[in-house]
Amino acid sequence: MKKTNFDRYLAEQLKDRAFAARFKRAGEAWDVALQIAALREQAGLSQAQLATLLKTSQQQISRLESPSYEGHSLSMLRRVARALNARVRVVLEPADSAKVLSVAEPPAPYRASRRKLP
């Protein structure tokens, strides 16, 4: 596939670590915003109708669906998910993708502190 001027520009910009970090965070916020909007539309609800269900304002729903918004709280995402018959899944991954943690085996600091149940 032929690279566009934008592709070349973006590749150059991503060499800057600070830019790359901001770009990644923006992508994560974009994903959340698109998922909320898609689920709301799939449910046949307007922003105002979803806001009424959640006892919040239409402006708050608009904010949640904005790719530039980074203030999503877990409690609000859970409320939205319940109203839209969805669930919230949060995945924390090691920055070094070579280190993969098993869900069944928590990181070492947590293993030592776990108590055995009777």
pLDDT band at 111 (very low <50, low <70, confident <90, very high): very low
User: Taking the mean position of all CA atoms in its chain, how far away is CA 19?
Assistant: 19
Owning domain of residue 34: 5-88
The crossing angle, in degrees rounded to 10, of helices 74-83 and 47-54 is 110
**Mean pLDDT, the chain, integer:** 80
What's the rounded Cα separation, in Å, for the pair 79 and 88? 10
What's the rounded Cα separation, in Å, for the pair 67 and 64? 8
Query: Beta-carbon neighbour count of residue 84 at 10 Å?
Result: 20
Residue type, 89: R
For 17-35, how does the pLDDT look when each residue is reduced to its tens digit (9 = 90+)?
887 777 676 666 678 888 9
In a domain, 107, yes or no: no
In a domain, 94, yes or no: no
Q: How confident is the model at residue 10, as a pLDDT?
A: 66
- Whether the per-residue pLDDT at 116 is higher than 80: the answer is no
In a domain, 25, yes or no: yes
Taking residues 89-104, report their average pLDDT: 68
Helices within 1-118 (DSSP H only): 5-13, 17-42, 47-54, 58-64, 74-83, 108-113
If one counts the domains in the chain, the total is 1
CATH code of the domain in which 31 resides: 1.10.260.40
For 42-56, how does the pLDDT look when each residue is reduced to its tens digit (9 = 90+)?
999 999 999 999 999
Percent share of the chain, pLDDT over 90: 39
